[in-house]
Structure 1
Amino acid sequence: MSFRGSEFLGSEPVGRLLMRLSLPAMVGMFVQATYNMVDALFIGWGVGPLGLAGTAMAFPVQFLAMAFATMGGVGGSSLVSRSIGAGDRETACYAFGNLMWFAWTFGLIMAVGCHLALGQILGLMGASEDVLPHGRAYLEVIIWGFPLIMAGIGMNSTVRAQGRAKLAMATMLVSAGTNVVLDYVFIFPLGMGVRGAALATVISQGVMVVWLMVHFALSGGRMLSIGVRHLVPRWGVLRQILGVGSSEFVRLGASAVVVALVVRSLQRYGSSDAVAAFGVVNRVVALAFMPIIGVGQGLQPILGYNYGAGKMDRAIRAIKLSLLMASGLSTLAFVLMMIFPREIFSLFTPEEALIGVGERTLRTMGLGFPVVGFQVAGTGVFQAMGKGLKSFVLSLSRQVLLFIPLLLVLPPAMGLKGVWLVYPLSDLISAIITGVMLALQLRALGRIEDGKVM
């Protein structure tokens, strides 16, 4: 049984289709990054460097919440798109329903757990006495948005898996626009500081969830509709969702560990200005990442559908075009980081000393960015094909097998500069590993297309 409106994924020219789905996804992901970017802009000018450092203390917890959210979103959307390609509507509905169960359940568990362990979390970050109050004020609010962000990402990923990229983009625009307006109101007229920035983010996440629920309710069958039975956990469905999405959980979960270690290293080898600079640069790098991730999201329904339908020639072409597009975007971001680091950082603070630290930080951390697009898109290829183990290994290689050992070795030998150099070195090595695995996978797909492998 086919889904109404999804057949174009297997018939429209691949290049045009990738652009059609990737561009809205790129815009949507770019807009999503403005959550933290806007927070940083308003906090930098309305609170100051200590406020920026305080919000950086929340990064590990936020990355952990995003790890769970993205694991469900990536795994669920992969199963939905592959089921659509195979004409299996019931499995697609169970994938969506179980994804929603997972999002709300684990989102609430995380929020309550973080609330109970807030003191210990801040202690692990090694927050100094001047930064600690800002970190606590931000985290006390932001954690209650975890169920909302997990549900929102899950629903938006499902929308995108059905080829409705424009709706997914509009969702992010509405949510981010709400965040911008509320950030200004809460931080400046109401003087709520970092707490106001966190509250603005939570409310905007709620707006995203309500917006999507309305669209699902009014879709008239054009989007997945689920009954109560689809919300009951089924181990076979959850295993597929979590298995494929596990690579994203590892990537972002490892990011939580990595950021915690980086912040502690900055406290030891740098200063509160170094932590504040990291808080800004991390957001800038995340902004540069988002269009690249958008390419992967545009690829996902195309590759998932055609791989599920056995159209390997289209699958191979989609993979190659997505790698080329993602690499071009990451190279462009690299050029901007190298030429305009001072101008970029000056947007966030008037403090000259902080600008100087940020300029050096951005240039060093961005050295490996030309290969980032290839690595991220390559991981997305295996996710879209439902090859959870391979995507898991690729995510593990950069964030755990490479980054953490380098972080333990370079800073003691090189001080603060060693912290920043870990980023480009791990990017380069992980890109090499990705290249080898992709070459083998493309060769295997080619043999299937030639009829040499059944």
Structure 2
Amino acid sequence: MVGMLVQASYNLVDAFFIGHGVGSLGLAATAVAFPFQLMIMAIATTGGVGAASIISRNLGSGDIERADRTLGTLITTATVLGIVGALLSWIYIEPLLRLLGATKDIFPYAEAYVSVVLFGIPLQVFGVGLNNAVRAEGNARIAMITMFVSAVTNMILDPLFIFTFKMGIAGAAWATVIAQGAVVVWLLLYYLMGKSALNLRPVHLIPRRDILGEMLAVGSSEFARLSANSAIVALVVRSVGVYGGDMAIAAYGVVSRTLSLAFLPIFGIAQGMQPILGYNYGARLYQRAHQVIRLSVAFASTWSFMAWVLVLLFPGPIFSFFTPDADLQVLGARSMRYMTFGFCLVGFQVMGSALFQALGKARPAFFLSLSRQVLLFLPLLYFLPPFLGLMGVWLSFPAADVLSALMTLYFFRRQMKQLEACDGRLPSLSADNLTE
């Protein structure tokens, strides 16, 4: 969670320096580029989450060799996907930005930003995948430090490139790419120096069909969630541009980056829960699995509630941090209140989806990952704006939050009852039982 909080903070640092060093069009350009970055994250996370689930469950059941082979399969898959993703993005960069909603004034800034970010795609896919594997073996401290390496590197280079070297928005992009490269170096050192509980040998780099299939099946829910989120953000940017113009796109860019400070720690809790839950589930320690679920849901829900209160009470001061533009501050504060009205329920919804990922149950995990963005948000985004204008775009967010939380509750209660039934068939977890 701390690592994700640091990761979110450097999104805010980017927005701060771009807002003050480039201006509102720079902020709008990052909003246009954000769906593209989410799609790359979706690709990176698919293998990482799927592999993490397999690694933690096999460590729990004692099958160390299969856990090692999963790591090797992940490394090979991440390398191939990263290179292919970068090449395809380079070929289609101009139509891609047009599709994402770049207007005539925003396009030069978006192109300058994304054309540099492309160089970091292989680094991002590789780094995200390996860090999930580190977390899966229970080494949360190294996974957290990885986030620090990335964030601190970016925070140092952002002002240097934007203000000192006068590189503008391209400077912010280069800072991000170099930070991604630093993460890859750090993680490779971790594995090559033998610090990991997993053993990586050349033979493990040959992908195993059964492992790759399971990895993609379990990770597909995360890919569905993030890729759907990418498509949703692109549609929101286009809708906001139609009903509010470039200024509204800039406001949405700031809101989305600010919310990442609240969102990403929730995903950090989910990722911290998954190896513990997967390990104990694989070891048939159902009482401990039940306990970690309850604790994670309570903590994530508390966090989302606290974030919800803060953005409702102080949207004006939050926006003034990112831009000196008074008109943008007023528009942004109003939009932030509407967008976040259902955020207090997000923590529970994310934990519900993560629960099924950790247990290796691909179908409910896939369905819940899609529920908010595709099944609920898309219809709301289609029907509300024609009647309510820009207000309709903002109100689609809380309506989807409330409905998806209710849907998650149904699946969550069924799964908890199953765990309780399994727990009732096993001895209680006394210290003696655990020692035996």
Question: Which TM-score band (shorter chain)?
Answer: over 0.9
Partner SS state of residue 62, structure 2:
coil
What residue identity is the alignment partner of 1:445? L
8 A Cα contact 1:35 1:201, kept in partner: no
8 A Cα contact 1:81 1:161, kept in partner: yes
1:173 — aligned with what? 148
Distance (whole Å) between structure 2 residues aligned to residue 234 and residue 103 of structure 1: 14
1:22 — aligned with what? none
Does 2:377 align with 1:403?
yes
Does 2:7 align with 1:62?
no
Does 2:250 align with 1:276?
yes
2:282 — aligned with what? 308
Distance (whole Å) between structure 2 residues aligned to residue 128 and residue 290 of structure 1: 29
1:147 — aligned with what? 122
- State which of 63, 68, 73 in structure 1 corresponds to 2:48: 73
Does 2:286 align with 1:294?
no
Structure 2 unmatched runs, 5+:
427-436
By how many angstroms is 1:310 displaced? 0.4
**Identity within the alignment, %:** 50
8 A Cα contact 1:216 1:223, kept in partner: no
1:9 — aligned with what? none
- Count of aligned positions: 426
Distance (whole Å) between structure 2 residues aligned to residue 448 and residue 135 of structure 1: 53
- State which of 97, 100, 105 in structure 2 corresponds to 1:130: 105
Distance (whole Å) between structure 2 residues aligned to residue 186 and residue 34 of structure 1: 18
Does 2:232 align with 1:258?
yes
RMSD: 1.1
Structure 1 unmatched runs, 5+:
1-25
8 A Cα contact 1:70 1:249, kept in partner: yes
What residue identity is the alignment partner of 1:339? L
Distance (whole Å) between structure 2 residues aligned to residue 323 and residue 95 of structure 1: 28
1:148-203 deviations in whole A, cap 9, x for unaligned? 11111111111111111111111111111000011111000011111110010000
By how many angstroms is 1:291 displaced? 1.3
Does 2:60 align with 1:85?
yes
What residue identity is the alignment partner of 2:109? H
What residue identity is the alignment partner of 2:264? M
1:372 — aligned with what? 346
What residue identity is the alignment partner of 2:38? F
Query: What TM-score do the two structures reach when normalised by structure 2?
Result: 0.96
Distance (whole Å) between structure 1 residues aligned to residue 77 and residue 252 of structure 2: 32
Q: How does 1:22-421 map to 2 (within 5 A)?
A: 26-219=1-194, 222-421=196-395
Partner SS state of residue 347, structure 1:
helix
By how many angstroms is 1:60 displaced? 1.4
Distance (whole Å) between structure 2 residues aligned to residue 295 and residue 122 of structure 1: 33
Partner SS state of residue 256, structure 1:
helix
After TM superposition, where is structure 1 displaced by more than 3 Å over at least 4 residues in a row?
none
By how many angstroms is 1:36 displaced? 2.2
8 A Cα contact 1:368 1:428, kept in partner: yes
8 A Cα contact 1:122 1:135, kept in partner: yes
8 A Cα contact 1:86 1:309, kept in partner: yes
Partner SS state of residue 270, structure 1:
helix
What residue identity is the alignment partner of 1:309? A
Distance (whole Å) between structure 2 residues aligned to residue 118 and residue 281 of structure 1: 25
1:277-300 deviations in whole A, cap 9, x for unaligned? 111100111110111111111111
1:51-86 deviations in whole A, cap 9, x for unaligned? 101111111111110001111111111111001001
